[in-house]
Chain A
Amino acid sequence: MSGSPDTGWLAGDDRPAPATLSGAERRLCELHGAETAVVLSGQGAATAYALAALTNPGGHVIVSAGLGGAAREHVEQEFLESGRTVDFVDCDDLDAVAALVGPRTQLILTESMTDPGMRPIPVNDLAALAHSTDLLLVVDNTALSPAQLRPLDLGATVVVESCTPYLDDQAGLGLSTVCGPSRPLRRIGAQAARTGGRPDPWSDRMLAQALRTLDLRMAAHHRHADEIAEYLRKHPAVATVHRAGFDEAPWAVETHTGFGGLLSFTTHVPVDAARTGGAITVPAWEQPGLDPHLVRVAAGHDDAASLIGRLRALLSEEAAA
């Protein structure tokens, strides 16, 4: 903006803006290979801000049917009320996604692994579809974390993640993060700044510290979840086990280094998992084609044996009943 007023125009001004990333944001950029990152306070804030900033009123958005929790409720309430139209579809089925793309479609929002179905979504194929139809692809990578999947490398526009289970090591900071190119993230950061959605410096520091051990913890999560799945598959009371693996999804060898610490299973006789609490839960949301007696297990990174012990107790109770 220096110099005489009548020389040059916007093209002469484009020197790079100074980087103003916090410690956690810098680390997330490295983990995702992203140009920039924004950490937001609130678990659903990343999805909410990304959707609002990347679409216009009058636009249409394709959302994965497996999207759950606060993000799902946000999409069905505030987001729909803000003039956008939404279609829910199984993002594993590329033909079904392609059939929904219309002239007003702006964005596809999908999680990288369905929960509690625990099927990995082929992000690379979805990105190819999004690119060929001029759509943005937003991937919710909470279930896998950048240690096991880097969606930006596969062609996703923006990655959103809730920090709580994996990124911040169960610290319960209640943060979420958006990673991607700086131009769309500028609008997301500006929105958050206006509405006070940035975290306090201490939380940011806690997150940055937890991110140092992310790859080690995620490898342990993956290993323990595989052990628990192995145990459950051999158990006579268990009907089906949902656990993503390279055997079921061989294409993922090229893109994934693991499948996180989540699995779910159904039993022949319904079990009362609600009493167990902790890492063993019954999903509160409903999805078509899902067994209502499904039990969801989140393996920890410390030890699989104690969780297997609790599952053994749960299943023997059910066998005795």
Chain B
Amino acid sequence: MIAGVDLAGWRELAATVRRASWEAQATISVSADGPQITVRPMLLGPSRVARPFTVAGDPVALLLSALAADTAATVAISLTRQGALPTKINIRGYAGPAPKMGVHLDVAGLVTPARLAAAADHVRRYSVILRTLAESSPVRLLLVTPDGSQPVHLAEPPPASLSSGSPSPGSSSVRFAGSSSVDAGGEVHAVWRQGARSTVTAADRSIVIDRPKQLFGTDRGPSPEECLLAALAAEIRIHTGGEVHVSARQDLRGGLGFDGAPVGLRDILVQCLDPQAAIPAPGPVLELLRQPTDVSIEIENRRTPDAP
């Protein structure tokens, strides 16, 4: 194992899911009944992964934390796979007024510019968080009121149909307010430790993001995907109150590079139990998810200059 990346493990997983695609299907979920967001047990193929983590914080900062940690983990896998040895990665994730969003990675170690360029390409193609943001990920909302009335579905309209207006008659689904320009501001700094583990510091707090050992991490914190769902849960909860559950499905084959398998999260479902507000106004995290967001990736090696 080099730099905490279990390449043999990833290869074995790839060989397993080539034979048995159900082994690659993961369902992740978080729930919030207060400012603390609890990571729910993950369904990973025919088994469960249960870990005792909670996260809290500003929604945009959590989103950037997930992005920064996942980018660093993908870079680590890419460099290790290419035979390079990353020793330290400092990451800065930032978001400004739309469409300014990006990650800057400063990689130290035995790396060459060509390998860093290949790593940047791998991040653009196989980072789950980046691809979830880069693609338009529909989010479904379900409001369940305690008085026993019909649950309200908030369907997310595809961006093209926003201007055409008129919802189909007889449909009980209510639509979000039209998408506005995203005004998400924030910055996080992260230090990659090893493998999938990074310590991310937002304005006032730092969290450890890691993967479960079933996915070759070290079980020290929530996974980047769970952190992304936590960002969404935190944002929805600010608007609606009550209890919020967010779940999504992931096909691990996408991140492993199988053709035709989606890389990003799918079927993102937000369930609001006992909401105080009828229809939440879309916040920046929801907007970034449902609109295609271009994330710029810069990878450089400032610490150890190349030999001439």
Contact = CB atoms under 8 A, between A and B. Distances in A.
Interface of A: 1, 5-6, 8-17, 53, 55-60, 83, 103-106, 131, 134-136, 182-183, 186-187
Contact of A56 (B7, B12, B50): B50
A16 B41 contact: no
A9 B48 contact: no
B258 A11 contact: yes
Interface stretch (B14-22, B136-144, B195-203): B14-22
A88 B253 CA distance: 37
B40 A103 contact: yes
Contacts of A135: 47-48
Contact of B81 (A10, A53, A59): A10
A85 to B, nearest CB: 10
Contacts of A83: 52
Contacts of B126: 9
Nearest to A83: B52
Nearest to B261: A11
A104 B50 contact: yes
Nearest to B52: A58
A106 B52 CA distance: 13
Contact of B51 (A16, A57, A182): A57
Interface in B206-225: 212-214, 219
Main secondary structure of the interface of A (DSSP, over half): loop
Interface of B: 7-16, 18, 40-41, 43, 46-53, 77, 81-83, 114-115, 117-118, 121-122, 125-126, 212-214, 219, 253, 256-258
Given A10-B256, A14-B14, A56-B213, A105 B48 contact: yes
B41 A13 contact: no
A258 to B, nearest CB: 30
B82 A186 contact: no
Contacts of B115: 5
A12 B50 contact: no
Given A10-B77, A58-B51, A186 B256 contact: no
Contact of B52 (A12, A13, A57, A187): A57
A250 to B, nearest CB: 30
A251 to B, nearest CB: 25
Given A15-B15, A183-B13, A183-B16, 12 more contacts: A10-B10, A11-B18, A13-B10, A14-B11, A14-B15, A17-B8, A17-B12, A56-B219, A59-B41, A59-B49, A83-B52, A106-B50
Main secondary structure of the interface of B (DSSP, over half): helix
B14 A13 contact: yes
B244 to A, nearest CB: 17
Contact of B122 (A9, A55, A104, A105): A9
Most chain B CB within a 10 A radius of its CB, from A6, A9, A183? A9
Most chain B CB within a 10 A radius of its CB, from A14, A15, A59? A14
A5 B118 contact: yes
Most chain A CB within a 10 A radius of its CB, from B9, B13, B48, B256? B48
Contacts of A59: 41, 48-51
Contacts of A105: 48, 50
A13 to B, nearest CB: 5
A216 B3 CA distance: 50
B23 to A, nearest CB: 8
19 contacts: A1-B83, A6-B114, A6-B118, A8-B257, A10-B10, A10-B14, A10-B256, A11-B14, A13-B14, A14-B11, A14-B14, A17-B8, A53-B213, A56-B212, A104-B48, A135-B47, A183-B12, A186-B9, A186-B12
A11 B256 contact: yes
A22 B256 CA distance: 31
Given A11-B256, A106-B50, A16 B15 contact: yes
A182 B52 CA distance: 27
A58 B40 CA distance: 11
Contacts of B12: 14, 17, 182-183, 186
Contact of B253 (A11, A58, A134): A11
A134 B13 CA distance: 18
B8 A9 contact: no
Contacts of A58: 50-53
B50 A11 contact: no
A186 B41 CA distance: 22
B82 A5 contact: yes
A58 B38 CA distance: 12
Contact of B41 (A12, A57, A104, A136): A104
Most chain B CB within a 10 A radius of its CB, from A6, A105, A106, A187? A6
B47 A12 contact: no
A53 B16 CA distance: 18
A106 to B, nearest CB: 5
A17 B115 CA distance: 26
A198 B51 CA distance: 29
A150 to B, nearest CB: 20
Contacts of B47: 106, 134-136
Q: What 4 pairs between A and B have smallest CB-CB spacing?
A: A9-B257, A58-B52, A14-B14, A6-B118
Contacts of B52: 57-58, 83
